[in-house]
Amino acid sequence: MKQLGVLDTAFVNLETVPTPQHIGGLSIYDPSTAPDGFVRFKQVLANFNQRLSRLPIFRQRLVEVPGGLDRPYWIEDERFNIEYHLRHVALPAPGDWRQLMIQVARLHSRPLDMSRPLWECYVIEGLDNITELPKGLFAVYTKMHHALIDGAGSEAFMSALHDLVPDPEPRAEEDYKPVAIEKPPGPMALVGRALVNRTVNSASIARGFFNVTRDVARMAIDISRDKIPMPDIRPPQTRLNKPVGPYRVVEGVAIPLRDFMDIRARAEVKMNDVVLTVIGGALRKYLLAYDDLPQESLTGSIPINMRKRRAENDEANQV
């Protein structure tokens, strides 16, 4: 049993019906390169079941402390069933890009079951009428709670499920070795742990509060002396500043990676700079189309991977 970190817990606490805290990704595969020219669902299922041995947290579920007195815990799910988490669906006719986006939007709008391991994957077949792509493709849509994984963690997830060579050597250690299923501690035991943790952590919390207060005071002094500009984080009002509902709209566009690499090289910037510029340009065109472009620049929140800037730890989110 392992306790969640502070940021991981924050994503659990932020979970609501209109603002679920899961993230998603869509991958499209061409099965014609497989040995038999096609891939069966049972093969995808077997691959997931084997490779997830590299990521044991995907077999664990949350145990929350009564009253929110302490951070939740990850515990091995005694009823884990890979077939609950990996599902098989097919697009309705005509199986085009619009139908794929509608299907993904529907799947992404559904909240995860917080009593089970916090992820789901859908193998989507019937991609037969997508412009500039061959028939017979299939897609995999993945949905994971942010308490489970962040952007860099999702890269580790994809790396665990894929190989970089056509015929990799099999690894015997990838076979999942079941662990002893722990009996979840009862409410009183969890409350007792919480009281002990609060006593032990009081000093570190006090030190952390002092450090934050000191840093804020220094920043305030620097701003007052015009050493750093005072940021204006109030967002301009647009059609985007509305209450969020539970439903989602998904759309995508294919852009050759080579185009991004060429722009990055010519402008001598990082790939993130190119991507953010494209997204900013798309938002500008969208707001112009609705005559809703504000005079001020939009305000955005961009997560930064902090894995190389912090001491090594095992928290899922390091942003």
Active site positions, annotated:
146
Measured from the Cβ of residue 266, the count of other Cβ atoms closer than 10 Å reads 8
Alpha-carbon distance of 274 to 34, in angstroms, equals 34
Complete DSSP assignment for 192-242: HHHHHHHHHHHHHHHHHHHHHHHHHHHHHHHHHTTSS-----PPPP-TT-S
For residue 166, give the 3-state DSSP assignment.
coil
Q: Which residues pair with 74 in a beta bridge?
A: 2, 62
- Is residue 319 within 8 A of residue 8, CB to CB? The reply is no
d(CA 272, CA 7) in angstroms, rounded, equals: 24
Which residues are paired to 145 by β-bridges? 22
At residue 120, what are phi and psi to the nearest 5 degrees? -145, 145
CB crowding 208-241: b at 16 or more within 10 Å, else e: eeeeeeeeeeeeeeeeeeeeeeeeeeeeeeeeee
| Gap between the Cα atoms of 215 and 222, Å rounded | 11
CA distance 72 to 114: 12
Specify the long-range contacts of residues 40-44, CB closer than 8 Å, at least 24 apart: 41/88, 41/123, 44/86, 44/123, 44/140
What DSSP state is assigned to residue 82?
H
